[in-house]
Structures are given as C-alpha cells and as structure tokens.
Amino acid sequence: MSKKSHNQQSTANQLTRWLIFLGVSAVLALILLVAAPRIMHRSLFSVTDGASTGTLAVGVTDVPDTLDIRTVNNASLDRVLIGNVYETLLGRNSDNGITAGLASSWKTSDDGLTLTFTLRSGLRFANGHTLDAASVVWSLQQAVSNKWPGADTKLAALASVTNPNATTVVITLKQPDATLPRTLSGRLGIVYDSAANIDYTNQAMGSGPYRITNFTPSQRIAFAAVSGSTAKTHTVTVRNYSSNSNLLKAARSGDVDLAIPSDPASADSLADDQNLRVSAGTSENKVTLLYNNDADSIFSDVQARTALRMMLDKTALLKDRSDVAQPLGGPIGPLEPGYEDLTGLIAHNADRGRQLMSYFSSSYIDTINLVTSETYEPLAQNIAHQLQEQGISVEVSALSDAGVQDCLSKRNFQLLLTTINGVDGTADFADPNGPSRYTNADAQAQYTQAVHATTQEAYENGLKAYARTVSSTAASDWLYARKTAVIASTQLAGYSAQMADERLPLANIVKQ
C-alpha cells in the first residue's frame, strides 16, 4: 500500500472511532439527563430503606402541663412518653401482659428473691450515650432515694440492685414480690441517662424511638424519630383539644389523623364518616360504685352492702351505655392477672335485697349520699332511680373532679361512683386505709400471700381467691371495665385502641 493510501485509511479509522465515541457519549448524556432528576431527588429528599418518613397529627384532650414523668404521677404523661420517648426495663403487650423491654429476657429464682435481667445489646439514649446495666441500677436508685411517686410501696421489697456486667442487672428482694415485673413495665421501670443535663419539666432524654422537639404545656408535644429508629413515621405532633366535641370536629375535618376522645362513647357519632375508622378496645379503668366502709357508715355492715348489690340491676344499668367494654362482678378487670368472671357471685335479686335491708331502721339508713363526677352523672341518676324503686332514698351530687377528690378525702360520701385503675385499684381493697376503707382480715391475708408467691401461677391463683373474698363480702360494686376508642383516618395503619387511655405506641403507625 502506498504511503498516501495508508494515511487515508488511518484518517478514516480515527474518524470512525470518534463517531462511535460521540454516539456513545450522546446516549450516556441522554440517559443521565433523564435519570439525574430522580437521582438528585432521591439523594436530597428521600431516605434510605427502613428509615421513617411522613408526618402524623394526633388529637387528645389531656396534653400534660409538664414532661417530668419522674415526679408527677399523671396518666397523660405515661401515655405520650412511655414506649415513645422512654423505654422501660420490661414491656407490655396489647393484652397488658408482661413482655421483654430493654431487657430481652429475665428469670426469677426458685425462692422468688432474685430477678436477673439480660439487656438488649447496643442500647443508646437519643443523645448517643450508652444505655447499659449501670443506667438501670442508677435509675432504680434514683427512684428509691428521691421517693418518686409509688416507689415507697412498689419498690419496697428491693434489697439491692447490682450490675455484674454491662448487660446484666440483678435485683435481690427482702421477700418475694410477684408484682415487681409489672412495676418495671411502668414509670418506675423507665431507664434514664445519668449524664443527661436537662430540665425534665420541659425536656426529655430517653432511649425510645422518638425524641421531643417542641413542648408547649397543656397544648402540644412534637416528636421526631431518633436516628436509626424503627419508627415508621418521622414526625408526630400531639395536640390538645379543650373538649371531645372539638376533638371530633378536628377528626372530621382532617386536622388530626388520629383522635383519642376521653369519652369513648362520643366516637360513635363519627362511625358513618367514610374517611374515618372508629375502633374500640378495653381499658384497665373499672367503673365502680365505691361503698364507704367507715365505722359510722351503714355500709360498714356486710348485710347492707350485699342488699345494695342485690337491688341493682346491672344489665338494665349498662344496656344503653356505649362506654362499656365488659360487665364486672369483682375488683379484678379482664386485663389484669387473676381475672375471672364473678358477675354471678351476688346475683340481682331485688326481693332478697329489700328483705336484707329491712333489718335496718329507716332512721339508720336515712338518705344515702351518692357522689360522682359530672362524667358519670347520668349513670348515677339511673342507680339512684333503681334504689329509690326499692324504697332507698338517694341524693346524687355531681361534682368536678376536684370536688370528688375533696369528698373522698373528707369521707363525705356513702356511695362514690368513680373509676379505679388496674392492679393499683385492685390492691386498694387489701388496704384498710384505701378509698373504700374496706377491712377484711381474710382478704388482706390472701392478697399478701398472692404478692409473695414465687410463681406466676401461684400469684394468679392467690389473686383469684382474694377477689372472691372481696366480691362475696360486697366490699363495693364493680360495674364494668371501661371501653377505649380511637378515631383514625382510613389512611392510617399500625395503631391500636387497646388501653388507648394510657398507652399510645406511635412507632408502628404509618400513613399509607
């Protein structure tokens, strides 16, 4: 080949390579042009797989006026903080059973005097500080030494709390206490950061899936998911509404995604809204007709108490009430250990009730003072009506919550229609200084024996024996376990109405 031909061939080959290069570049540029906005959007505005997204608005009628859950015993604090901002050593499931919490497992010695807890690995507080067994020991010591609400009685059995290593906590007891695991699933089981330098009145520092970003007392609490959290929704705002009617309006208008009315019956008015879903659950709260068992009260006599129980027709009383989860016949509710149906123990028998009451002179009975809160006035009036039909004169006093507490402290009542809560309310009837002042040596001994049981089975059987004694002697009249209700946008999933008046787990809620 001549030199000229060779040069011409080389030039042609270079031109071909350049044309191929330009063609490929053009294709790549086109691909990049199409994909770039998506890539930029993903990197700037999206999150990695598994991270939380979205916002959630929750409406309640009781945003607390402080965040100091250590020193203020308030159900609204428990509801918004436990499980969301703070984690407890043990947890509870939707049936109120004890589950793993910060401790992945625990065991009790055969004699019931030693409880050993194994913590989950890699635990941290929202500020990045390590949460280990020393944090648990410090928190329990703080509760006892600072006499946080309930610690003097619920942690009274503690002899020592130690941390043999970073993931093990050992609690030794002076005597067995079958109630301790439940205690450690509540506010006294919260684990705090000993190095957190915060004002607990308006700040919080826990190990839960959320941290608080803004707090306006009695108005709103704003949460954001902690980095690495399993929370499905990134930001949550809990807002206060002055009344159930205002809260329901906010739910209907879409101002809140999830509403939890204090009166579960009010939720029924939104059942026909196609954009909302009304769900019901059961509360630990038990609506109870509390008898004054003081020595100068007619109800210090078991015959008078039994007569009143027989006179009341519970089926008729509860028929039209939409806040009833389940009728009760004893001090233990369906979400508590040791529950059994005792509704037939003292059956409705008006004739027998009148016969028993006839042993008391009319001057001794006089007019019975039935005190209640404004919430339960209609029910109180129905109770009064039933008793009046049996010849018992009853006067109803419907008071503010503060007024009810004043009557209770001054013992200025004979009947008190109120709510008692969970295991604490159950235990009240084993305390001669409890709200009813009921005194029964057998019941006290049975409750003590139950608490000192070394197995769960013995504990529950002991509670059943105690409840039967308390109910059969008509210490009071337990009417029903209260219903709970939540109103949710149909776009929401992952929420629960069970115990919604005291537990509000936010991490699993997602807006679809």
* SS3 category, 190: strand
pLDDT digits (tens, 9 = 90+) for 297-338: 999 999 999 999 999 999 999 998 999 999 999 999 999 999
- Residue 39, pLDDT > 70, answer no
pLDDT digits (tens, 9 = 90+) for 73-89: 999 999 999 999 999 99
Q: Over range 274-300, report the average pLDDT.
A: 96
What pLDDT is stored for residue 18 in this prediction?
Answer: 42
- β-bridge partners, 103: 119
Name, in order, each residue with C-beta under 8 angstroms of 136's C-beta and a sequence gap of 6 or more.
Answer: 89, 102, 117, 119, 161, 163, 169, 191
- Residue 31, pLDDT > 90, answer no
Banded model confidence at residue 11, pLDDT cuts 50, 70, 90:
very low
Distances (CA, A) of 457 to 100, 220, 267: 19, 43, 38
- Residue 420, pLDDT > 60, answer yes
14 vs 74, residue with greater confidence: 74
- Residue 363, pLDDT > 80, answer no
- Residue 498, pLDDT > 60, answer yes
What pLDDT is stored for residue 462 in this prediction?
Answer: 98
- Residue 46, pLDDT > 60, answer no
Contacts by 149-157 with C-beta closer than 8 Å and gap 24+? 149/71, 149/72, 149/73, 149/187, 150/73, 150/183, 150/187, 150/188, 151/188, 154/179, 154/180, 154/183, 154/188, 155/180, 155/183, 155/188
- Residue 10, pLDDT > 60, answer no
Q: Over range 42-47, report the average pLDDT.
A: 28
- Residue 40, pLDDT > 50, answer no
Q: What is the dihedral of CA 499, 178, 172, 92, to 10 degrees?
A: -20
Angle, vertex CA 12, rays to CA 6 and CA 17, nearest 5: 125
* Residue owning tokens 């219903």: 483
- Residue 433, pLDDT > 70, answer yes
- Residue 374, pLDDT > 80, answer yes
- β-bridge partners, 478: 288
pLDDT digits (tens, 9 = 90+) for 149-186: 999 999 999 999 999 999 999 999 999 999 999 999 99
44 vs 286, residue with greater confidence: 286
- Residue 389, pLDDT > 80, answer yes
* Dist CA 490 CA 235 (whole Å): 19
137 vs 512, residue with greater confidence: 137
Q: Over range 237-246, report the average pLDDT.
A: 97
* Dist CA 349 CA 308 (whole Å): 10
Q: What is the mean pLDDT of the chain?
A: 90
Q: What is the pTM of this model?
A: 0.87
Q: Over range 115-144, report the average pLDDT.
A: 97
- Residue 489, pLDDT > 50, answer yes
Residue 264 in contact with residue 60, Cβ under 8 Å?
A: no
pLDDT digits (tens, 9 = 90+) for 139-150: 999 999 999 999
Residue 371 in contact with residue 415, Cβ under 8 Å?
A: yes
- Residue 402, pLDDT > 80, answer yes
Classify domain 283-482 at the CATH class level. Answer: alpha beta
- β-bridge partners, 162: 170
Residue 262 in contact with residue 401, Cβ under 8 Å?
A: no
What pLDDT is stored for residue 288 in this prediction?
Answer: 98
- Residue 364, pLDDT > 80, answer no
Half-sphere exposure of 192 (CA within 13 A, CB side): 20
E strand residue ranges, 61-207: 90-92, 98-100, 103-108, 114-119, 158-165, 168-173
- Residue 36, pLDDT > 60, answer no
What pLDDT is stored for residue 6 in this prediction?
Answer: 42
DSSP character at residue 484: E
Task: Give residue limits of the domains in the chain.
Answer: 283-482
Residue 349 in contact with residue 415, Cβ under 8 Å?
A: no
Half-sphere exposure of 80 (CA within 13 A, CB side): 30
Half-sphere exposure of 455 (CA within 13 A, CB side): 4
Give the range among 43-47, 245-249, 335-339 with minimum mean pLDDT: 43-47
* Dist CA 462 CA 338 (whole Å): 8
Angle, vertex CA 115, rays to CA 434 and CA 193, nearest 5: 85
* Dist CA 456 CA 96 (whole Å): 15
220 vs 360, residue with greater confidence: 220
What pLDDT is stored for residue 51 in this prediction?
Answer: 53
